[in-house]
Structure formats: C-alpha cells, structure tokens
Amino acid sequence: MWPEGFDPYDETTWPDPYYDEWDEEAEEYVPVPFDPADPSTWDPDFLLDVAYLSVGEPGSPFDLVEIIPGASATNARYAFAGEGKVTLLDNLNLGVAYVRVWDDYLSGVVAPHEVRENFDHVISLSADYAFAEGWKADGEIAKWWNNKGGDLTTQGLATRLNLTGVVGPVELAGEFVRVPDGYAPEFVFVDPDDGLETNVKTIGVSAKATVLEALKLTGGYKMTGNASDIGTQWQDWDVTKAGIANVGAEYALEFGDLKLTPSATAECKHFYETAGAWQDGGNRVTVKAGAKAEYAPIEASYYHTYARAKIDGGTAGTFYNRDEVKAKADYDLNENLNLWGDFNWAKQTVADAHVGLDKKKDAHTTTFNVGAKANFVVYEGIDLKATALYGMQKDLLVVGTPWTKAIVTAGVGAKVTPKLKVNVDGQYQRLDRFYLKDGAYEQYKYAPVTNMIGEINWNYDITTNTVLKLGAKVIKSDVDNDVEPYKSYIARVVTGSLKVTF
C-alpha cells in the first residue's frame, strides 16, 4: 500500500531523489532518480512508510513484487455465449453454439502490448433428423481449444450420436459417445458421477418393450473403454475395454389406490486387459431386485443389490451387497400450504474391493429432508410465497454428520401493469459440511456458513416479441470458522438483458 497522496504513475507526487551515485563521465556525484519499481532508489522514510502500511510494522519484511507498478493482478475475466437454431425442413433441424472465455490481460497490468493467452472456447454443431415412421437420428460434435500459457495444444473433440426407432411394440435405441481424456471446457462440469464423464468411448444398443400393458422388458449391450487424443488422432480402447450386457423386467400391480411395482435387473460386465493383444480380464455380475409401492401421498421402495466378481483368472466370489430403503411424501394441507419430506437409508458391504475393478467401499448412511411450501394470493396480481427446508445426513458406519442444511425463503411477485412484473425475494441459509479424514469427520474451512440473500427482478414486455429484464442481488456470507474467518464476504450482482424474438 502506498502512502496517502502518492501515485506511482504521477511523477509530481514522487519523493525527491535521496541517493547519489558516481558519474564517471561527469566525474561527480549525481542524484539517483526515484523509481517506484526499484526499491533501491527509495528514501528510507518512504520505505518504512510503505512497510508499515503494507504489513503494519515499520521495517518488517514484505513482498515488493506485489506492490510495484507492472506487477500482475487478478485479471478481469469475460465470457460470451451464442446459439442459433434453424429448421431447414419439417423433419430436419440444425444448430450451432459458441462459447468463449478469456482473460483481459490489460486489466491487471499496464503494458504497451496485450498478451492474448488464457482463453477457452468451444464450438458445437448439432442436428436432428426424423425419418420413416417413429425413427429419429440426432447428434452433436463439440470442438474445444484452450491456450493457457499461450499454448494451443490443449484441445479435444467430443461426439454424441443417437438413433431411436420403433419396430412393432419394441423401442430401439443406438448410441455412440466419445469424450477424450482431458476434455474440460471452462463451463463444463467434469465428474464421472454427476457431470460429464471423460476418457470414455461407448458404442451400444438397447431395446424396451411393454407386454400385456403392465409388463415392461428391457435389454441392451454396449462396448466401452478409454478415449485419448494423440495430437488430432484418436487412440481409443488401448488401456481399458469392457463389454456390458443387461436385461430387466418390471410388472405393475394395482390394488385399489395401492400401486405395487416389483422389478429386477441383471448386468454382466466383462473386462478385457491388454498384453500386446486383448484377452480375458474377468467379469462382474450385478443383480438388483426390489419393489416400489405408491399409496398417495406416500411412495416407498426397497431394493437389494448383489454383485459377484472374478478378476484376472481368480476365483469368483461376492463383490458387494447393498440394501436401499427410500420413502417420500407430498401432502397438500389446503390449496395454499404443502408439506413434504423424504427419507433414504442405504447400507453397502464390500467383500472384496477388487482393485482396478471398481471404486466401491463400505457405507451405511441415513438422509432425510422435511419442508413446507406456501403460496398466497394477497391481492389481484400480487402473490406471496414462502418455503422452509431442513435436511441432514448421518453416517452410521463412521459416526458423524456429513452435512446439515436449513433454508428459508420468502418472496412477493406483483404484476404492476399488464406489461410490467416485479419480483422481490429473500433467502436465509444455514449450511454445515464435514469431510472424512483418517476415520473421523473434520469440518470444511468454509463451514458452517450463514448466507443472507436479497434479490429484486424487474421484467418489462416492451412489445409482444421484446422483453427487458433488470435485476439486482446482494449476498452476505458469514463463515463461522475461527480458523479462516476471512472467508466471509459481501457480493453485489447487477444483471440486465434485452431479448428479441423474431
């Protein structure tokens, strides 16, 4: 931090030269000009002032690189996204989308030239085509480039193709999916469970049919494995490869208001391993059976899963057992008030984790949520709504509480004029979260946290095809953690958009 009144870019605010140096040509001492980027030219008093302002103690060590002109700061980041779709024929649609994210280099440094680096962009082409009767083909190809550090070698091509059709009572589907290893555009959530799975190439077919109105049969087969790009060349299924076959059936039974649906599925996953050529690597057979019962307003289910595995020529044996109980209810007390809740219990016991086969481990958890929703018409054109939610999870295997949450919201919406609508919303959140480390739960450094959120949105229909939207939001987040209390913050967000449809 600079002393008050000092501007590193305004020489009239700089101190007078303090040091002298010998000039060989003039054969005399001459003043050394003050340079804010060179601390060796600073007056000792000026140096102490900067040290005190920066770290609070005169003469204390501090990092000059962070305060001198030209030092890098956190650059502003911008994002642009555009999408267009066109219907060429009644049964043919084409689409293109482009997303670009980049750093504004000159927002963090004063420099004569801009360095164009750290940008990320994706261009996507999509299409769907309906033909014959009940048949449809659709797909998408997305090319990604990223040049972190100015190197454009980070790239990837993701592909998805689908074919669906009907033959008599049977619905058929075919798929081709390929996402290479390392594919990670800026706005894509990469996660094998909840997001985009990478390093995978899959080709498969499936079928399902409804027999006797209540009996549903399913089946399919697919081949899957790793996917990698070597330059622009594909190098797939050279590390992992597996064939997966599955069959299933469910039958719906009705006894008055009670609906009971027993079901069973079986899957066989055959692994291959390479040693110059593909060879048998073992298999895993998984069977899941259970039933779901529905009796308004309650729905409950129980399923048992048994898996058996054989790897690398070993003896086949139990892989894991899993039991799951789920229940939920949704009840309207009256036309304005709704109560709901859900409960999940699961216990999984792994007999042998089979390293390299699957990431399964013992688990025993209970999760429940309860909530209420209210909606009232206060006056014609004015709606009042509110919700309350409390939820938590218990780990019964390692005694602990992975997370808890309590959220309360309230809002009012008013139609001021036939064209103008205003919404005001508020939200209170109390969140806590823990992670498992060395057999015990420890609290995240960002928890527990209390969030207060206030928001107002203004929606104005200028014409039948033009809409103006404006919004403002304030977020106050307080982290109640003595270790890192500075994680608390206040954020203000202002948004605006003009949408024209033609």
CA–CA separation, 24 and 18 (whole Å): 19
Tokens representing residue 318 in the block: 């139990």
Residue 41 dihedral angles phi and psi, to the nearest 5°: -100, 0
Q: Give me the residue label for tokens 């290893």.
A: 181
Task: Give the distance from CA 20 to its chain's centroid.
Answer: 59
Average pLDDT in the 474-500 region?
84
CA–CA separation, 486 and 488 (whole Å): 5
Average pLDDT in the 236-263 region?
93
- Fold of the CATH domain 362-502: Porin (2.40.160)
Query: pLDDT value at position 70?
Result: 44
Q: Residue 151: pLDDT band by 50, 70, 90 thresholds?
A: low
Q: Any bridge partners for residue 393, and if so which?
A: 367, 403
Give which of 8, 144, 141, 105 is closest to 64, Cα–Cα. Answer: 8
Q: Residue 69: pLDDT band by 50, 70, 90 thresholds?
A: very low
Q: Where are the domains positioned within the chain?
A: 11-66, 72-212+222-238, 362-502
Query: pLDDT value at position 104?
Result: 84
Asked whether 328 and 342 are in contact (CB, 8 A), the reply is yes
Average pLDDT in the 10-15 region?
86
Q: Residue 312: pLDDT band by 50, 70, 90 thresholds?
A: low
SS3 state of residue 362: coil
Angle, CA of 8, 11 and 14, to the nearest 5°: 70
pTM: 0.71
CA–CA separation, 469 and 421 (whole Å): 10
